[in-house]
Structure 1
């Protein structure tokens, strides 16, 4: 049974929210150039290989999940996030449709509660704060208890960068000693929830009474259809499956969880998978796997 939050914890949480709202008032005044500059600075502070390598290694040591070598490569996702951010307008008028008489203005949502998963304790807060800054929002992160040290270390690196850029550090904050009940209280006090993690976490976010985005249940299904019908296409798709499943030891929610293969290309694609290093279980082994992986119907 989850522990109840103490008065001291409530006071701490209310203080964090108050600081976040004060920072939100400041960032709401930034123009597009200032916002984009800040996104670049934050990304640069964590993409630096020396910084990211240490964070990646510490994440594996603290959580016991993933692979240090491929987790280091995840910094490239931050480059892609930054690229997508800088391509878009997010301040003032962002779209006009003259024929319909519609003009769209960007407006900050306010304070975002971010539930950070144990599988990506640094990539998630770093990526989300770049997007939050782009939208002139602020964010309070609730780390997974098994990854709280690494997540807060990443957050503190970003906070130092914000201060160097003349922006409020409290654009991003992290709960130092997170718990389920404390996270639930955080969600109630914010304007938007982003829950990245397992099914219980996402369900809790959707039940918070606050608008929420949930992701991260994982076990993604990948469909290999009958257009994968040449040796070259099958080799490429099999390679991508292997990369996806092996990266960070398959701990990320977006890795290939299972494959549905069209019967017309089934044999050729399975052969391509085996060539990439896949193991093809025999009938006896398959039955043993089923007994472990699935409940009886």
Structure 2
């Protein structure tokens, strides 16, 4: 399969998954976001070990603390925040209401320095807005990032969420990343040039 076919396959799955949650309630969305963070929090040690071993960067204790800390901080900052339907009046603009609408498919380009927390944070933000996300990890951190995405997907599956809300690129390089960035609706790139 060439890069174009591969990206098209990822996008088809992502669009189908996103459409399936486009009408989720605030409570349903928040439950998705919560279990993503919990999956990383609960597996902080093994994910930290895998990240340090694969990337040869950072240290185990700091990675464990970061995995747990960011999972908690992001969840606590997102819970209770409205992200579905009418958000309320726009400040300073009488008669104008803010309405939340999904963007579609998000691309998350993630660095080798942060293969666990960056995919988790971006997935939490994406799903909070009823979007799907495709993670393209740095090649030197693909195994750790893939494990993190798989754990998040296992947690989502237990809720009955549609498959492919979070996908990960199996073999990422600059050509695949460029093709993915051209195909999606929004790009979030962390690290690198």
Using structure 1 for the length normalisation, give the TM-score. 0.63
Instruction: Check if 1:116 corresponds to 2:116.
Output: no
> Residue 61 of structure 2 aligns with which residue?
69
Provide the residue aligned with 1:153 in structure 2. 147
Aligned to 1:58: 50
Deviations 1:216-259 (A, max 9, x none): xxxxxxxxxxxxxxxxxxxxxxxxxxxxxxxxxxxxxxxxxxxx
Please give the secondary structure, in 2, of the residue aligned with 1:120.
coil
Larger Rg, first or second structure (1 or 2): 1
**Given the superposition, is the C-alpha separation of residues 57 and 96 from structure 1 closer, same or farther in structure 2, using an over 3 Å criterion?**
same
How far apart in 2 are the matches of 1:118 and 1:88? 31
State how 1:239-258 maps to structure 2 within 5 Å: none
Say whether the 8 Å CA contact 1:91–1:135 is kept in structure 2.
yes
Q: Which of 173, 184, 190 is equivalent to 1:190?
A: 184
Query: What secondary structure, in the 3-state scheme, does the structure 1 residue paired with 2:133 have?
Result: strand
RMSD between superposed Cα atoms in Å: 1.2
Number of equivalent positions: 191
In structure 2, what is the Cα distance between the partners aligned to 1:195 and 1:40?
A: 23
In the aligned structure 2, how far is the partner of 1:168 from the partner of 1:192? 21
Q: Give me the whole-angstrom Cα distance separating, in 1, the residues matched to 2:3 and 2:155.
A: 27
Report how far residue 99 of structure 1 moved: 6.2
Tell me which stretches of 4 or more aligned residues in structure 1 moved more than 6 Å.
none
SS of alignment partner, residue 100 of structure 1:
coil
Q: TM-score, normalised by structure 2?
A: 0.95
Bigger RCO (CA 8 Å, 6+ sep)? 2
Distance of 2:36 and 2:59 partners within structure 1: 25
Residues of 2 paired with 1:58 and 1:29: CA distance? 36
2:14 alignment partner, one of 20, 25, 42: 20
- Rounded to whole Å, the distance in 2 between the matches of 1:40 and 1:99 is 33
Query: Which residues of structure 1 form unaligned runs of 5+?
Result: 1-6, 201-297
The answer to whether structure 1 residue 167 and structure 2 residue 161 are counterparts is yes
